[in-house]
Structure 1
Amino acid sequence: MAQNGLEAAISRRRFLALAGAVGGAAALAGCGGDGSSSGNGVTYWVPPNAELPRMQSFLKGIKSGYKKAHPGAELENVVVPWEDALTKYTAGFSGGNPPDVTYQILPWMNKWRSTGVLADFRSLDKAFTDKFVDGLNADYLKAAEGPKGELLGLPYVGGFWTLVVNEAIWEKAGKPALPKTYDEMIPFAQAMTFDKKGRKLGESGYDARNVEHYGMTWAPVPAIQDNYLWHYFWSYGSDYISADGKDIGFNNDAGRAALRHMKAMVDSGAATPPSLYAEEERWRAAVMTGKTGMAWTEGVTVEYATKHPELRVKVLEPPAGPGGAYVVGACGFLSVSSKTKNKDGAVNLVKYLLDDEPLQTFSKLILAKPVRPQPSNYYDGLEDPRMTKFMNEAASLSKFVKTTRILPYQPQEYLMGKINDYLLGRQNLDAMITEASNQIQQMAKAAK
């Protein structure tokens, strides 16, 4: 999950698929249509983070559980299709009868951040809020802050891509030591690169034109690179944008070191060539299909588990550089309307959704990563034991999360293109940095 989509609970690819699964369910489903309930009633607007029947079943349980916890209270769950969500949210907040509680993602939080449509949780219930946020990843909280430090949403479910190894390829390579640093990643990837006659990269006769599987997936696809390029900079002690948001953040020794390391991986012979696939899904699935030995991935889904019955993957902790170890994270938030007519009911609903059992049920339903480290059996009982294994191994990694910058413009896709110009030899490092700096400065000025 990154700033141009949740890439958090689930990926944009799955968002669109699920939105399509909702079909023409049109505008709102679940209540007559617009806004908050009166009296003891509360409305909750949420996009379908899972296939619609499963999402509806979950919300039915939430409704009965909430009413049991709060006798006399009423709850209307409103499923808002992803393709219509921002339009519906905008109309709801601008009218006189807004939804009481909403599920938010980072781009939407950025839209509402300075508008006053979301309430400050510390004003709603400071004691609960302070207790809930204790120990949470600071980047998740920062992503929910308003211009004056208000907390406009509580982190609900998180998302980040994890580094995994295809265990069959790793075993074929003789189980080389798992990489713990960026410096160790390249030789590790090279050790898992084989041609179709079983010769390893570097061995006599190795045929680079007929590769059976590469050691590392390096996909020239923005929706994928968005999940692993930025933590190269962070791990080397720089950033993709300067601290003041007005220029690039990698025109320095640390940034150049990160870029040179990326290029060393791309040039190593172990990384997938950019022409390998045309379809985004094939890039996403490369490590699952055995085309690559290592990749940053969303995880093992039902689809992957069904299509690849022999699939086994191992989750690695993110590699460390001189500046530390990170994963690019994003988040789904729960927010309360500042104009809610039932403040107590809205806060009670948020508390209920964040309670251990409903939260765990939702996390397992949509395969969301937790916003705080969880026990190693947190995801027990998923549809396939390999899904359970993956999610349980990933559950402890939220401590490495760093979110993308909160900015009035969106520089990521442009910067990915420029970085690829350098990595693929279309431009030298100095020229790329100069052009990128000039363009980002112009984007920042235009966004004022």
Structure 2
Amino acid sequence: MSSTSELDRRRFLQALGAAGAGLALGGCSSGSKSAGGTATYWVQPNASQQQMQAFLKDLAAGFQAANKQYTAKTLIVPWEDSQTKLTAAFSSGNPPDVTYQIAPWMNIWRETGVLADFHKIAPKEDVDKFLDGVNSSLLDAAKGPKGELLAIPYVTGGSHQLTVNLNIWEQAGKPPLPTTYDEMIPFAKAMTIDTAGRKLGTPGFDAKHVASYGMNWPPVPSIEDNYLWHYFWSFGSDYVSADGKDIGFDNDNGRAALRNMKAMVDSGAATPPGLYTDESKWGNAIFAGKAGMQWVGGFTADQAKAFPKARVRVLEPPKGPGGEQLIVGACGYIAVAAKSKHPEAAYALAKYILSPEPQEKYTRLILALPVHPVNGDFYTDLPDPRMNEFQNAVEKLGKYTRITRVLKYQPQEYLMGKINDYLAGKQDLDAMIRDASKQVRQMAAAAN
């Protein structure tokens, strides 16, 4: 698996385990079938090139064995080229029959008519199976403006769960584990220990020589995108307004969420913003024993090998003031082209990809989480038992997952910058909110 240590939401289905970025054909069947019986599948490299090619070869063979009249061609498309290639293919009128999609792309295609409505191409009983037990939040990004079902949730994950380093927790005297956002701050203080073993707030604590901070707070957009928004959600607000035309945190609940973030950053228990320059070090902090608590998206084989003594525990998502528990998540989708020249073969291939065995095999391959509920543990044979424990704990908390808003514009990165300005003391709360509102209103107006 990948050496990527922080499995962030935005890149979850782009970089989770990604090791190959080349363009390659895999699983091409060459039998005597006519071109009219061939369906194409474009997918991105969510595992190594070798792993992806092996999986797709088996997928094509399994599809043909189950559907004698059809063949499949699969194409691995590099993430950096995908949006451009998909746009060109959809515009040309000769698109791939089946595609792997993520929410940001769904926002682009939603009103263009390039994706088929599963309600029209699939029997109701198939749709019911595809959506059985699926978190309703995952469907928001898959729906068209008139309720069309433009894609089917395929794999999920990317959720960053609150996680504690048990070695540091024990060293700190096992303070009560936090269950709310407010409780996280004193807990982080209790978990902040200097190199001499003194705790934050005790006589002689040396803030210049900290062995472990209580809370890892990376000022890195690709990581922050996985935890800032669920502060707003759990406090009863949002990063954009209900109509999508303004920010959603210019209210008491939004301000309370921001003040909670600020209290953590100012507590002395949070990692200082200049602690690391390497994103992987931010992601590895809790496993390396440099942070007692962190929003963690995954436990990779490389991390398990690099940190053999790391012991972590995934906590229930903390509650906001009203008891809400919501976590930012991600989802990969399977879609069928509206202008497929082989609609029957296209749907047959999509249905096969979404059938239990290939779907579960792919989910495990990329260390994702199943979109359908499972009985017992989904992971049992990962390279390290700690990985199994972590992944299964996260899977059980999938009910708290929420997908970011369906919008025609993407204000997240801008908003993260403004929030960081406030957290770093560069702007006061009112000025930050005023500037953010003005800019997001302009972005929304331009997009619409």
Tell me, yes or no, whether TM beats 0.5: yes
Q: What do residues 86-124 of structure 1 show as CA deviations (whole Å, max 9, x unaligned)?
A: 222122222233211110111111111111110001111
Indicate conservation of the 8 Å contact 2:23/2:76, yes or no.
Answer: no
Residue in 1 that maps onto 2:328: 328
**SS of residue paired to 1:75:** strand
Structure 1 residues 286 and 59 mapped into 2: Cα distance closer, same or farther (>3 Å)? same
Does residue 317 (structure 1) correspond to residue 319 (structure 2)? The answer is: no
**SS of residue paired to 1:314:** strand
**SS of residue paired to 1:288:** coil
Residue in 1 that maps onto 2:149: 151
Q: What do residues 132-170 of structure 1 show as CA deviations (whole Å, max 9, x unaligned)?
A: 224321111011111111110000011222221112111
Indicate conservation of the 8 Å contact 1:169/1:290, yes or no.
Answer: yes
**SS of residue paired to 1:258:** helix
Larger deviation, residues 349-358 vs 401-410: 349-358
Residue in 1 that maps onto 2:62: 65
Could you tell me how far 1:31 is from its partner in structure 2? Answer: 5.7
- Structure 1's consecutive aligned runs of 4 or more residues displaced over 3 angstroms after TM superposition are 11-15, 25-32
Larger deviation, residues 208-217 vs 399-408: 399-408
Does residue 402 (structure 1) correspond to residue 399 (structure 2)? The answer is: no
Q: What do residues 226-285 of structure 1 show as CA deviations (whole Å, max 9, x unaligned)?
A: 100011111010111111111111111111111111111111111111111112121111
Could you tell me how far 1:131 is from its partner in structure 2? Answer: 3.4
One-letter amino acid matched to 1:129: V
Structure 1 residues 162 and 407 mapped into 2: Cα distance closer, same or farther (>3 Å)? same
Q: Using the alignment, how far apart are the partners of 1:14 and 1:420 within structure 2?
A: 26
Residue in 2 that maps onto 1:343: 343
Q: Matches of residues 236-385 of structure 1 in structure 2 within 5 Å?
A: 236-323=235-322, 324-385=324-385
Q: What do residues 335-386 of structure 1 show as CA deviations (whole Å, max 9, x unaligned)?
A: 0011123323222222222222222211111011222443341111112222
Structure 1 residues 6 and 277 mapped into 2: Cα distance closer, same or farther (>3 Å)? closer
Q: Using the alignment, how far apart are the partners of 1:392 and 1:6 within structure 2?
A: 18
Q: What do residues 18-70 of structure 1 show as CA deviations (whole Å, max 9, x unaligned)?
A: 3xx33xx34766669xxxx8432211111111000011111111122212222
Larger deviation, residues 329-338 vs 306-315: 306-315
Q: Using the alignment, how far apart are the partners of 2:170 and 2:8 within structure 1?
A: 34
Residue in 1 that maps onto 2:4: none
Q: Matches of residues 198-213 of structure 1 in structure 2 within 5 Å?
A: 198-213=197-212
Residue in 2 that maps onto 1:95: 92
- How many residue pairs get aligned? The number is 435
One-letter amino acid matched to 2:442: Q
Residue in 1 that maps onto 2:110: 113
Per the normalisation by structure 1, the TM-score is 0.92
**SS of residue paired to 1:39:** helix
Larger deviation, residues 120-129 vs 211-220: 120-129
Residue in 1 that maps onto 2:443: 443
One-letter amino acid matched to 1:261: N
Indicate conservation of the 8 Å contact 1:8/1:157, yes or no.
Answer: no
Q: Matches of residues 140-179 of structure 1 in structure 2 within 5 Å?
A: 140-159=138-157, 160-179=159-178
Structure 1 residues 312 and 376 mapped into 2: Cα distance closer, same or farther (>3 Å)? farther
Q: Which of the numbers 111, 130, 133 marks the counterpart of 1:132?
A: 130
One-letter amino acid matched to 2:327: V
Residue in 2 that maps onto 1:231: 230
**SS of residue paired to 2:313:** strand
Structure 1 residues 14 and 372 mapped into 2: Cα distance closer, same or farther (>3 Å)? closer
Larger deviation, residues 384-393 vs 255-264: 384-393
Indicate conservation of the 8 Å contact 1:104/1:335, yes or no.
Answer: yes
Q: Matches of residues 381-392 of structure 1 in structure 2 within 5 Å?
A: 381-392=381-392
Q: Using the alignment, how far apart are the partners of 2:41 and 2:13 within structure 1?
A: 22
Q: Which of the numbers 59, 64, 78 marks the counterpart of 1:81?
A: 78
Q: Using the alignment, how far apart are the partners of 1:352 and 1:96 within structure 2?
A: 24
Residue in 2 that maps onto 1:414: 414
- Pairwise CA RMSD: 2.0
Indicate conservation of the 8 Å contact 2:28/2:57, yes or no.
Answer: no
Structure 1 residues 10 and 383 mapped into 2: Cα distance closer, same or farther (>3 Å)? farther
One-letter amino acid matched to 1:169: I
Residue in 1 that maps onto 2:42: 45
Q: Using the alignment, how far apart are the partners of 2:296 and 2:308 within structure 1?
A: 18
Could you tell me how far 1:13 is from its partner in structure 2? Answer: 5.2
Q: Using the alignment, how far apart are the partners of 2:210 and 2:250 within structure 1?
A: 36
Indicate conservation of the 8 Å contact 1:28/1:80, yes or no.
Answer: no
Q: Using the alignment, how far apart are the partners of 1:398 and 1:343 within structure 2?
A: 33
Could you tell me how far 1:176 is from its partner in structure 2? Answer: 2.2
Indicate conservation of the 8 Å contact 2:212/2:292, yes or no.
Answer: yes
Q: Using the alignment, how far apart are the partners of 1:58 and 1:95 within structure 2?
A: 29
Indicate conservation of the 8 Å contact 2:409/2:444, yes or no.
Answer: yes
Give unpaired runs (5+ residues) of structure 2. Answer: 1-6
**SS of residue paired to 1:287:** coil
Could you tell me how far 1:72 is from its partner in structure 2? Answer: 3.4
